[in-house]
Amino acid sequence: MMDWLSNWKERLIIVKPYTVIKWYRTAFKFYWRWKSQHKEGRPKVSREVIALIIQMANENSDWGAPRIHGELMKLGFYL
């Protein structure tokens, strides 16, 4: 185990500052790409519920979004 520590001076490499910055930027880019892919977000709405919303809006033109939402909640759809 200590064999690789005995010749640590031979294992040193000199890198340019630009190389270190490039490594950092690449790692940062991969981190944020990974971080942005794991959002849960709003749950999907089924096509049947969308069709019901459209039907309710067409049949009741004076209803707004809050009223339609309330009616859907009465029917057991919690959006």
pTM score of the predicted model: 0.48
Average pLDDT score over residue span 53-70: 94
Q: 72 near 49, Cβ under 8 Å?
A: yes
For residue 20, give the nearest of 30, 8, 28 by alpha carbon. 28
User: Quick check: 1 pLDDT over 60?
Assistant: no
CA dihedral 63, 65, 71, 75 (to 10 degrees): 140
Tell me the CA distances in angstroms from 78 to 20, 35, 42, 43, 57, one per residue in order: 51, 28, 12, 11, 18
Note the pLDDT tens digit of each residue in 4-30: 667 777 777 888 999 999 999 999 999
Mean pLDDT over all residues of the chain?
87
What count of other Cβ atoms lies within 10 Å of the Cβ of residue 51?
10
